[in-house]
Chains A and B, each alone.
Chain A
Amino acid sequence: MVGNIILYFVVALVIVIFSFMAIRTDKILRAATYLLFVLLGSAVFYFQMGYQFLGAVQIAVYAGGIMVLFVFAILLTHKPNDKAAPMESHRRIAGAVAAGIGTALLLYALFTMPMVCSSNGTMLSLGEALSGDQITMKMIGEAFTGTNRFQYLLPFEAVSVLLLASIIGGVTVGRKR
């Protein structure tokens, strides 16, 4: 219980700080590294909420796949000591205002709107939310391979086609002419 809370605070802090640093740093490679930490923090949240498979996918795909792509891209397109200079100040102010208002608005909405569970009408704590059945691999596998209600064979196949298309597309676009 207390461990959960401590873990939460650590991870939340990591996410907030590294999100900030990822967008503030001058060096792109560092930004990518900070993004990696944010993604890993999100994965920890998934684990904490009982989505082990999702957390694993997050680490494998994002941290393992996408980050490698980022790093390769950065290394290919950057000379050493390149600085990523930010935009002129009025754009920065506009962005800050947009982000600030957005945050304020979302937080206001979060704390004023009722966020209650659909089944019993109360705001669940993490323990209560986790008290039900665990999500097993069998359930996930069945969800992805059936065609009944709450089963997703068609989107699954569509995503596989998409990935294939993006592989081919990536090769075609990126290849030297």
Chain B
Amino acid sequence: MDLNLLWYLVPSVVMFACGVYGFVTRKNMIAILISLELMLNSADLNFAIFNRFLFPGSMEGMVFTLFAIAIAAAETAIAIAIIINIYRAVGSTNVLESNKMKH
């Protein structure tokens, strides 16, 4: 019994599935963002895993993960800024209540 890539991928799959479930079922915007981070992290992890176990001589997966983390940071910062702004305008972070533009 030795660790191989399947071992690592299974938690990643679970993490991703949780992200999907959370994304579609949560009402709070920050909770949705948290689910999004879960999915993103799962994808990051997969890059690293595949890089390590399928192409051990190179480091492109890792580099890509680094970029993804940087972009995720930027995205989260903007998203939180928007959420705070919405909260200021609407008084709530519930997605179902922030629909004033529709009416």
A residues with CB within 8 A of B? 1, 4-5, 8, 11-12, 15-16, 19-20, 22-23, 28, 31-32, 35, 38-39, 41-42, 45-46, 49-51, 53-54, 57-58, 61-62, 65-66, 69-70, 72-74, 76-78, 84-87, 91-92, 94-96, 98-100, 102-103, 106-107, 110-111, 115-119, 123-132, 135, 139-140, 143-144, 150, 152, 155, 159, 162-163, 165-167, 169-171, 173-174, 176
| A135→B66 CA distance, assembly (Å) | 14
* Closest-CB distance, B65 to chain A (whole angstroms): 6
Contacts of B30 in A (CB 8 A): 28, 32, 70, 73-74, 77
Instruction: Find out whether the CB atom of B20 lies under 8 angstroms from the CB atom of A98.
Output: yes
List 12 contacting pairs A-B, 8 Å CB cutoff, sorted by A: A5-B3, A11-B11, A28-B34, A39-B37, A45-B45, A65-B73, A87-B24, A95-B21, A99-B17, A103-B14, A129-B56, A170-B81
Total B residues in contact with A, Cβ cutoff 8 Å? 72
| A22→B14 CA distance, assembly (Å) | 13
Contact with A along B46-75 (1 / 0, CB 8 A): 001100111111111011011101111111
- Which of A53, A92, A103, A167 makes the CB contact (< 8 A) with B77? A167
